[in-house]
Every structure is written in C-alpha cells, then in structure tokens.
Amino acid sequence: MTARFDAIVIGAGPAGAEAAIAAARHGRRVAVLDEQPAAGGQVWRAPVGGFAGKGDADHRAGDDLRERLAASPATTQFGRRVWSVVGPGLGRDTGFRVDALGPDGNESLEAPALVVATGAHERVTPFPGWTLPGVIGLAAATVLLKSHGAAPGARVVVAGCGPLLAVVAAGLVAAGVEIAAIVDRAARRDWAMRLPALLGRPSLALRGAMLAGRARLAGAPFFAAHGVRRAEGEEAVRRVVIGPVDAQGAPIAGQERAFDCDALVVGHGLTTACEVTRLMRAEHRYDRLRGGWMPVVDQAFRTTVEGLYAVGDGAGVRGQIMASLAGRRAGLAIAAGQGADVAQECARIDRALVRAAPFSDAMASLMAQRPAEVAAIAAGTVVCRCEDVTRGEIDAAITDGARDIDQLKHFTRCGMGPCQGRSCSDAAEELMAAALNVSRETVGRWTGRPPLRPVALGEMIGAFDYADIPIPTPAPL
Ligand SMILES: Cc1cc2nc3c(=O)[nH]c(=O)nc-3n(C[C@H](O)[C@H](O)[C@H](O)COP(=O)(O)OP(=O)(O)OC[C@H]3O[C@@H](n4cnc5c(N)ncnc54)[C@H](O)[C@@H]3O)c2cc1C
C-alpha cells in the first residue's frame, strides 16, 4: 500500500527535521524518513544500544530537536533506508514516489514535494595503508564516540583537517585514549587567515578552541602543516608515518616521524551526499570549497526539478547552523506554496543565513579537497576500495582512452562496488581532470541510479511463492 503526504523529507538531521517541523506546523501532511533509529543526523546522533550519551552540548541540542520533532504533527519513520526515488520525467509525470526498506520490508510513499536532506559523506584521500583494519574516518570516529561511547583504539593517531580534528581528539581524550599525535593538514596561518570569519560566531570559535586545548593539555604532540605518508602493519595498523605538506597538501621534503599506535583516525573533509538529486536529474554544479558536486538551488532551496528541494550538507557542506536554517526555509516554502503566509519568517531566515555564511564557509574551506594531495597518491595505492582499483590502473585507463568518469568506470570498475563511488569518486574525478587538463565538469559525475543504498534483492521483493508468478503467454510466432 502507498501512503500519501503533502511532502516527504529524506533525512532527519538538523536540515530535514527542521524542514518537516516547519511544514507540518503550517498544516502540511509531512513524512520524514531516516535510516537511523532516531532524529539528529550526524552532528546530533542519538546514543544507541544502552549507551546513555555524554550529556554534552551536542547531546542536549539533539534531544531538543528530537523532542520538537516528536511534538510536531509530522509523521516520523525511523530505521527506513530509502533506496529508490522516482519523480517528474523519471517514471512519473508529477510528484514523487519514495521506496524505503524498514522493519516490515519495503514501504512506498508519495507526495507532490520532496525534501532531500541526506547530509554528507566523509572524504579520505588515499595513502598507502589507508585500507588497513584500524584506520577509520574522523567523521566515523564521532559516530563511535557519540552513539556508542566507544573508542577506535587505545593509542591513536588523529589526522586530517577541519574542525572534526579537534572534536575527535577531545572526545578521545575524554574517553581515556592516549593520543600518539594530532596531525593537521592546515598550517597555523590557514587558521589565522580565517580568524575574522570565525570570530563572527564567538561562542562556536571559543568552543573549538577549548576542544583543541583539551587534547593539547593532555600532552598530545601536535603537528601543523603535516599529513600522513603511510600507515603500516600486517593484519592491522601498527605504525603511522607523517611528514610535512605544503599549502596545497602536497608532501614536501622534511623530517618524517613515525608513531606506534593501534588505530589511525583520519579524514580530509566531507563531500555532499547528493545521490537523490542526481538520480532526479536536477542540475548540479561543482564547488570545491563546499564539498564538491551540489544541486543548483534558489533562495527557497528549490532545485531545478519541480517540487524537489535540497537542504543541508547534501546541497553544499556548510555545517549544522546553515543546515538547520535551510531546512526551516524549505519547509516554509512548501507551506507557502500551499497557501500559508510565511513571508516575515522567511525574511528573518534569509537574514540569518547571510549572517551565518562567513563562519560556515571558513570551516568548509578548511575541509575542501586539495588537488595536490590527490596528485600525490602513489601508483600502487588503492583508490576504489570496493573494487581494488589503484591509481596506476586509473592512469592506465586514461592513457588507453578513457575521457570521462563513466568511461573510467567501464574500463576499470572504479566506482562499481557496493558504495557506488561514494568514497572514491572525488579522488577519481580529480585524478582524471588533472591528467586530461580539463575541468571537473568536463570529467562529469557517475550517473545517479537506484538502489541508493546497498539492499538485498530478497528484502525488496519480500516473500513469494514461485507458483504465484504469472507466466506470460508466449508471443505468436
Ligand atoms: C559521519 C559524519 C559525522 C559528523 N560529525 C560531526 C560532528 O561531530 N560535529 C559537527 O559539527 N559536524 C559533524 N558532521 C557534519 C554534520 O553532519 C553537518 O554539518 C550537519 O549535521 C548537517 O546536517 P544535515 O541535516 O544536512 O545532514 P546530517 O546530519 O548528515 O543528516 C542526514 C540524515 O540523512 C539520513 N539519510 C541519508 N541518506 C539516507 C537514505 N538513503 N535513507 C534514509 N536516511 C538517509 C542520515 O541517516 C542522516 O540522519 C559529521 C558529518 C558526517 C558525515
């Protein structure tokens, strides 16, 4: 059976939850789906499995969002993995149909409006040893800490870039983990240059400084303008070698240092999770400073496809504050489209978005992909970990004539595995663009296709009896 709503929201992070609350407050029938067991998204993940949570500011903000969503008339459906969306021009004349797998199998929903609030993916620029057990993402470590109260190891190297570096280092220290080293790709001047923008939100800047200070006070050695050269170990990571990098992230001559450890937590920023808007063939553009590919949206976060909205990190990585505001703005636009008077509230949000932008953009730019870091990937290093495709194989495919990212996939199977290119596309596209000396737009993106998430065929089809399958009459010869 198909349930019908005025609007469907995919993702109950800050962006999606606010969109649902705003639209539902004005009488719209809204359904919000998320594959997690509760709202909050990545930044405000709810604790699970008996872990009570840390009771810190993020935990309290998440509880507040969860309470407001629960009190709103929006229908919430958690534990639902959205794997298929059809919309205008793609299987339908108007409106959207969303299919999600939940505890009782597949569920279908329909609505004239769809808000995509699917957040971001973590970027790890490949280096030798990055696929060893014990190497995990910075963002992934926040999930371990927030949802499960678990640490990735007992002696850990924390490396990469952006604000998550301090968040994770402080979280690990609080969990009693020994930090072998903190390795920041950014130089001190990178932070200094962004200071005016960061001081525009003094409370957040202070919080970041306190988190960074907590790890330093615990005695963790700190290396600015450094990157991971390689992770070493037989069965799992046992040693991490770091060295200096230039302003573009490329390795430069200088002292290498090695640290024994049982885990490496490393991340090089976030990329937009825009699979649904790509699947819907909305227009996208590439913006390196905001997480790469993103749907083109107007002031109310409408994409170029009628009825399709995109908000939060999935429409450009800009952090929680911008995500919450964008979600609210899109929810109000849906309400306005159906008659509600929301002009004053929209104007207030538009002003708040302008005020919040410098801080968000400064943070996002620290996490942006640095092409020289990608160019430094060694020939033998695996880029696509699902299909074990190395940089050397990508280069060879380009030499053999691959001219866009789809051709690269055909030549090498890069991006063809269960993650559907979520972890390798950013590096693979960049390698191609550099080798061919063309723009990222020219290299293009892999075509969005269902399933959006890996799903077992049996889960989609459900239980059936072979005898019930109708056998078509043979065509006349
Ligand atoms: C792993 C990770 C950890 C992060 N940790 C932090 C942190 O500790 N602090 C911080 O400031 N920022 C963190 N960020 C950045 C942070 O996510 C954003 O700045 C902010 O939360 C964006 O909000 P959002 O609503 O756009 O997306 P999110 O908060 O990412 O919410 C997106 C939601 O969509 C759901 N979703 C996506 N696809 C599907 C699907 N197919 N079916 C069903 N549900 C789906 C996800 O489960 C998720 O709940 C993290 C990002 C990532 C990727």
Q: 2-121+271-365: CATH homologous superfamily?
A: FAD/NAD(P)-binding domain (3.50.50.60)
**Ligand 1 centre distance from Cα of residue 45 (Å):** 8
- Who lines ligand 1 at CB under 6 A? 10-16, 33-36, 41-43, 80-82, 117-122, 139-140, 142-143, 164, 167, 270, 273, 312-314, 319-320, 323, 452-453
Give residue limits of the domains in the chain: 2-121+271-365, 124-268, 377-443
Q: Whose CA is nearest to atom 33 of ligand 1?
A: 11
Q: What percent of the chain has pLDDT over 70?
A: 99
Fold match between 2-121+271-365 and 124-268?
yes
Q: 377-443: CATH homologous superfamily?
A: BFD-like [2Fe-2S]-binding domain (1.10.10.1100)
Q: Whose CA is nearest to atom 19 of ligand 1?
A: 319
Q: Which residues pair with 223 in a beta bridge?
A: 183
List, for residues 345-394, the tens digit of each pLDDT value: 999 999 999 999 999 999 999 999 999 999 999 999 999 999 999 999 99
Determine the atom of ligand 1 nearest the C-alpha atom of 83: 41
The CA distance from 360 to 317, in Å, is 8
Query: Topology of 124-268 in CATH?
Result: FAD/NAD(P)-binding domain (3.50.50)
Rounded to 5 degrees, φ, ψ at 191 are: -70, -45
Question: To the nearest 10°, the Cα dihedral for 380, 407, 297, 302?
Answer: -120
List, for residues 46-96, the tens digit of each pLDDT value: 887 767 677 778 889 999 999 999 999 999 999 999 999 999 978 788 899
Q: What is the pLDDT, as a whole number, of residue 213? A: 80
Predicted structure pTM score: 0.94
Strand pairing of 178-184 and 155-160?
parallel
Determine the atom of ligand 1 nearest the C-alpha atom of 315: 26
What's the mean per-residue pLDDT of the chain? 93
Tokens encoding 11? 């993702």
Please check whether residue 353 is in contact with residue 311, taking contact to mean a CB–CB distance below 8 angstroms: no
**Ligand 1 centre distance from Cα of residue 427 (Å):** 21
How close are the terminal C-alpha atoms of the chain, in Å?
38
Q: Where are the beta strands (DSSP E) in 301-407?
A: 308-310, 382-384, 389-390
Determine the atom of ligand 1 nearest the C-alpha atom of 121: 53
For residue 323, what pLDDT band results from cuts at 50, 70 and 90? very high
The residue among 94 and 296 whose pLDDT is bigger is 296
Mutational test site, ligand 1, from 10, 42, 353, max ligand atoms within 8 Å of CB: 42
Q: Where are the beta strands (DSSP E) in 30-112?
A: 30-34, 75-78, 81-88, 91-92, 96-102, 105-111
Mutational test site, ligand 1, from 32, 43, 124, 164, max ligand atoms within 8 Å of CB: 43
Q: Whose CA is nearest to atom 14 of ligand 1?
A: 43
Tokens encoding 32? 């919000």
Q: What is the pLDDT, as a whole number, of residue 472? A: 81
Tell me which of 169-178, 192-201, 209-218, 264-273 is least confident: 209-218
Q: Whose CA is nearest to atom 38 of ligand 1?
A: 118
> For residue 359, how many other CB atoms are within 10 A of its CB?
22
Residue 471 identity: I
List, for residues 388-438, the tens digit of each pLDDT value: 999 999 999 999 999 999 999 999 999 999 899 999 999 999 999 999 999
The CA distance from 430 to 286, in Å, is 12
